[in-house]
Copies of this chain bind each other. A is one copy, B any other.
Amino acid sequence: MKIAVLGVGTTKFGELWEFSPRALVKEAVSQALADAKLDLAEIEALYVGNMLSGILGGQENLGALFAEELGLRCPAFKIEGACASGGLAVHSAILGILAGIYKTVLVVGIEKMTDHKPEQVSAALMGAGYEEERMAGITFPGLYAILARVYMEKYGITQKDLAAVSVKNHYHATLNPKAQFQFAVSAEQVLASPIIADPLRLLDCSPVSDGAAAIVLSSKFKTKGKTPVYITASAVATDSLSLGGRKDLTSLLATVRAAKKAYQIAGISPKNIDVAEVHDCFSIAEILACEDLGFFSRGKAAKEIAAGKTTLNKGKLVVNPSGGLKACGHPVGATGVKQIGEIVIQLRGEAGARQVKGAKVGLAHNVGGSGSVAVVHILKNE
């Protein structure tokens, strides 16, 4: 598989009360098209990744809506798979290209969350979950807190080990001008922050965010813009929606399956990855991801992360140079698209202060629900 990423763009992530969803999409797309030096007329299909526009805003039909707003008159689709909506939209766009039906396509991820009350957002996000869990009153931090508790008991790690993830990702975000939280936090600060769902504290959790990200994918490798980076694998897997339906809570089986398939398609192993954007919606999620993606062996990821093995300019493999969901922000539908954008910038050597030196192979990992769906993409710069 070889699909060129011709252009990437992203808005700043954060509380963007002054921008409408349409304005955010337009900004991200205009950046991506400028980056690719492409005209709109060359776009043959539009894929939109979004989760909450219906529940929170009563607006559906986002494919046609954004196509019109952008001045496109091409086929347009909205793909939804909870927090993996962006990654699934990228996968779907790739299928459209591989099918030979669309040559050059635009993928947009968008979410507008901060205009709504926290309790509305919290309830809406449980739309990704299992009905019985939702009706029992559990929220996403609660679900991941269960995963964290089981992992901590099995492998003997502490809240301080969890905190190392947030410390690293906040540090990375200080180097990313698009990040929602461009400030560092110490382990002490994380451990002093309020408990959200024991053992997860406020600074273990990714925020509620607004933002949009766009990428242009193509089967045409020649470009007037930047040298393209290539997607060499795209894989999706699902698992039980409910935690109760799973055999093991110390691993996300959907990630394991999607990663295995992606490595196979790309013909590489986890050792080949120089830079990865993984789905750290909570600190425990990055620990699980680093093991499920094969970066570290079972039970070891927390210590390795704390030792700086995935920190910029320290580790051989850098994880979440953008700041991740934790510190760059997590506008749900945008995340999976932004992850690909970050890897592309890294593989082009354009990441500035947060550049992973000499990065040649990258991975993006997007999860929906508490692990019900996972998407893994592998990218190379040659």
Contact = CB atoms under 8 A, between A and B. Distances in A.
B79 A64 contact: no
A38 to B, nearest CB: 19
Residue of A76, A77, A368 with most partner-chain B CB within 10 A:
A77
A249 interface: no
Interface stretch (A55-63, A145-153, A160-168, A203-211): A55-63
Contact of A127 (B54, B79, B82): B54
Contacts of A131: 59
A238 B72 contact: yes
Interface in A105-134: 123-124, 126-131, 134
Nearest to A21: B131
Contacts of A99: 94-99
A238 B369 contact: no
Contact of A55 (B54, B78, B130, B134): B54
A76 B127 contact: no
A129 B61 contact: yes
Nearest to A89: B77
Interface residues of A, number: 59
Contacts of A74: 237-238
A80 interface: yes
Contact of A81 (B61, B242, B369, B372): B61
A368 B124 CA distance: 24
A240 interface: yes
A75 B129 contact: no
A191 interface: no
A215 interface: no
B77 A79 contact: yes
Interface string A230-243: 00000111111110
Given A59-B131, A73-B238, A98-B100, 13 more contacts: A51-B60, A54-B60, A55-B58, A61-B81, A61-B128, A64-B239, A65-B130, A72-B238, A75-B237, A75-B238, A76-B236, A80-B80, A95-B101
9 contacts: A54-B54, A58-B123, A61-B127, A65-B372, A68-B239, A77-B88, A77-B92, A78-B79, A78-B81
